[in-house]
Amino acid sequence: MATVAQQSNLSKVLWPLAAWTIALIFFFPIFWLVFTSFKTDQDAVNPEFLFRFTPTLENYTNMTQNYDYWKFATNSVITSTFATLFALVVGVPAAYAMAFNPSRHTKDILMWMLSTKMLPAAAVLYPMTFLTKNMLGIYDTHFLVILVLCLVNLPIVIWMLFTYFKEIPKEIIEAGKMDGVSTWGEIKDILIPLAWGGIASTALLTFIFCWNEAYWTVRLTTFNASTLSTLIEGNRAPEGLFFGRLSAVSTAAIAPIVVLGWFCQKQLVAGLTFGAVK
Closest residue by Cα to residue 244 from 30, 42, 29:
42
Choices 61-69, 126-134, 168-176, 192-200; region in contact with another protein by CB under 8 A: 126-134
From 106, 138, 168, 267, residue interacting with another protein (rule: CB under 8 A): 106
**Any residues with CB less than 8 A from the CB of 255 and at least 6 apart, and which?**
none
Per CB under 8 A, the list member of 71, 78, 93, 167 interacting with another protein is 93
**CA 28, 234, 39, 70 torsion-angle sign:** negative
Asked whether 146 and 79 are in contact (CB, 8 A), the reply is: yes
Q: Among residues 6, 9, 10, 23, which is the contact residue for another protein, using CB under 8 A?
A: 23
The reply on whether position 108 binds another protein by CB under 8 A is yes
98-131 as b/e: b if 16+ CB within 10 A: bbbeeeeeeeeebeebeeeeeeeeeeeeeebeee
96 lines the binding site for another protein (CB under 8 A): yes
241 residue type, one letter: L
- Under the binding rule (CB under 8 A), the answer on residue 194 touching another protein is no
Told to check if 168 binds another protein by CB under 8 A, we report no
Element (H, E) at 238: none
Contacting range for another protein; rule: CB under 8 A; set: 55-63, 66-74, 100-108, 189-197: 100-108
Identity of the residue, 36 or 221, whose beta carbon is nearer to another protein in the bound complex: 36
* CB environment 230-253: b (16+ within 10 A), e (fewer): bbbeeeeeeeeebbbbbbbbbbbb
- Residue 228, interface with another protein (CB under 8 A)? yes
When binding is defined by CB under 8 A, the residue of 5, 120, 171, 179 that contacts another protein is 120
CA 123 vs CA 15, 117, 118, 152: distances in Å: 47, 12, 11, 14
Q: Is 178 an interacting residue with respect to another protein (CB under 8 A)?
A: no
- The pattern of x and - marking residues 239 through 278 that bind another protein according to CB under 8 A reads -x--x--xx--x--xx--xx-xxx--x--xxx-xxxxxxx
Pick from 155, 126, 152: nearest CA to 139: 126
For another protein, the binding residue among 183, 190, 194, 200 (CB under 8 A) is 183
Position 127 contacts another protein (CB under 8 A): yes
For the segment 26-65, give every residue that binds another protein (CB under 8 A): 26-27, 29-30, 32-33, 36, 45, 47, 50
Tell me whether residue 57 or residue 270 sits nearer to another protein (CB atom).
270
Binding to another protein (CB under 8 A) within 195-214 occurs at: 208, 211-212, 214
Residue 151 within binding range of another protein, rule CB under 8 A: yes
Q: Are 34 and 55 in contact (CB under 8 A)?
A: no
Distance of alpha carbon 21 from alpha carbon 23, whole angstroms: 5
State the number of binding residues for another protein (CB under 8 A).
98
- Closer residue to another protein in complex, CB, 68/233: 233
